[in-house]
Structure 1
Amino acid sequence: MRYALLLLSSLLLPGMARAQAEALENPGTVSAVQERLYRMNHELSLGVGVLPADAFYKGLLGSVGYTYHFTDSFAWQVGRGSYSYNLKTSLREQLERDFDASPTSSAFEEQVQWMVGSDLMWSPIYGKMAVSNRKVVHFSAYLLGGGTVMKLQRADGFRPAINLGLGVRVFSSQNLSFRFDVTNNAVFVGATRIIQVPTLQLSTAFNFGATE
């Protein structure tokens, strides 16, 4: 039995000594994750944007919204509203001029007049970057999803929609940031018909009530 124990010790001790030596040489790494410099609480946003996709018109948006931030990464865009000033495209003008297309054509009546909605926002990314080694810019990226009610030009124009999108926020200070949102509303215009209404929007956001 004694010989067996001696043999086992001779096999284990070199390995244990080697592992201890490696642990002393490489004691491990410590990751330091900085807290967010800027935090959000009550956010009021004012924005401008475009409805770029429809072949018959382009919409110029004016928007306002209020967002409540529960945590650094989770928020509720309680309400948002947008009005669209619509401009005819050259294609629509040609159809009306050359083919006597009616302004009340179903294709023309699907242009957006205004919309209101609400979204949940998830912001898993926060970081900072150096600009020309002179200035540090803090930013965050987020996903959003919710519901919208759209007023189309149609006589029965109120239609529900599902809104999905993503955005980037660049911080100027604790109380001021700038958002760029890319979203798409899937609008239910009939029992089996859905139209897509993408939006591009740039907003100025004012932050109130947050503490560092």
Structure 2
Amino acid sequence: MRYALLLLSLVLPGLARAQAEALENPGTVSAVQERLYRMNHELTLGVGVLPADAFYKGVLGTVGYTYHFTDSFAWQVGRGSYSYNLKTSLREQLERDFDASPTSSAFEEQVQWMMGSDLVWSPIYGKMAVNNRSVVHFSAFLLGGATVLKLQRADGFRPAINLGLGVRVFTGRNLSFRFDVTNNTVFVGATRLIQVPTLQLSTAFNFGATE
């Protein structure tokens, strides 16, 4: 009996404290904060590069318009890009040392311009502290759609499937910056495909949005 009473005297205070803590903190409550910035009509002006081709590198200028139906779903109604192309040292060497023709099929596949449309899904929105002094709001998105490209070749209009992802950083209700990484799978012939990846940084002007 003495041992039982001693054990109870040690256990009961601990149980009492646990009960008191449970009453003070009945459970963990999680809250999801609403988005601070919402998009509506978005006009984008951007610059970018076509980095992948061995014979040229393209410097892109892009303009686009996107309509946002909800916080997470949008339609990039139209986008158009013009590419200013620069020869690589490999192409210059081939033309200089091996008399490669500027109209050879390998050189004719460089992009001159492209136009397309995409659906955009933005499942991620968040904020982060920068050096404990400011808060940055951002979102991440996926996009997919179709593109028509004009290649340098005579019959140069080609269809493509465009897939990509990106991130947006908000600076206010009417202005944000977005970085897009996309890839166009271009149907050159019945059995041949080429890949045209792009990297683009854009300034996005937002009209009709609310905080």
Deviation per CA, 1:126-173: give whole Å up to 9, x if none. Answer: 011111111100000000000000000010000000000000000010
Given the superposition, is the C-alpha separation of residues 6 and 93 from structure 1 closer, same or farther in structure 2, using an over 3 Å criterion? Answer: closer
* Per-residue deviation, 1:24: 4.0
Structure-2 residue corresponding to 1:89: 88
* Per-residue deviation, 1:28: 2.0
Structure 2 Cα separation of the partners of residues 2 and 147 of structure 1:
83
Which 10-residue stretch deviates more, 196-205 or 127-136?
Answer: 127-136
Structure 1 Cα separation of the partners of residues 134 and 105 of structure 2:
52
Moved over 3 A (4+): 1-8, 10-26
Structure-2 residue corresponding to 1:26: 25
Residue 45 of structure 1 aligns to a residue whose secondary structure is strand
Which 10-residue stretch deviates more, 158-167 or 14-23?
Answer: 14-23
Structure-2 residue corresponding to 1:131: 130
* Per-residue deviation, 1:195: 0.2
Structure 2 residue ranges without an equivalent (≥5): none
Given the superposition, is the C-alpha separation of residues 108 and 31 from structure 1 closer, same or farther in structure 2, using an over 3 Å criterion? Answer: same
TM-score by length of 2: 0.89
Residue 17 of structure 2 aligns to a residue whose secondary structure is helix
Structure 1 residue ranges without an equivalent (≥5): none
Given the superposition, is the C-alpha separation of residues 191 and 16 from structure 1 closer, same or farther in structure 2, using an over 3 Å criterion? Answer: farther
Deviation per CA, 1:65-97: give whole Å up to 9, x if none. Answer: 000000000000000000000000000000000
* Per-residue deviation, 1:15: 18
TM-score by length of 1: 0.89
RMSD over aligned Cα, in angstroms? 4.2
Given the superposition, is the C-alpha separation of residues 25 and 111 from structure 1 closer, same or farther in structure 2, using an over 3 Å criterion? Answer: same
Structure-1 residue corresponding to 2:109: 110
Structure 2 Cα separation of the partners of residues 49 and 155 of structure 1:
25
Structure 1 Cα separation of the partners of residues 12 and 153 of structure 2:
84
Given the superposition, is the C-alpha separation of residues 4 and 170 from structure 1 closer, same or farther in structure 2, using an over 3 Å criterion? Answer: closer
Structure 2 Cα separation of the partners of residues 11 and 132 of structure 1:
48
* Per-residue deviation, 1:29: 1.8
Structure 2 Cα separation of the partners of residues 71 and 3 of structure 1:
68
Given the superposition, is the C-alpha separation of residues 6 and 94 from structure 1 closer, same or farther in structure 2, using an over 3 Å criterion? Answer: closer
Residue 34 of structure 1 aligns to a residue whose secondary structure is coil
Structure 1 Cα separation of the partners of residues 5 and 146 of structure 2:
72
* Per-residue deviation, 1:7: 26
Structure 1 Cα separation of the partners of residues 131 and 26 of structure 2:
36
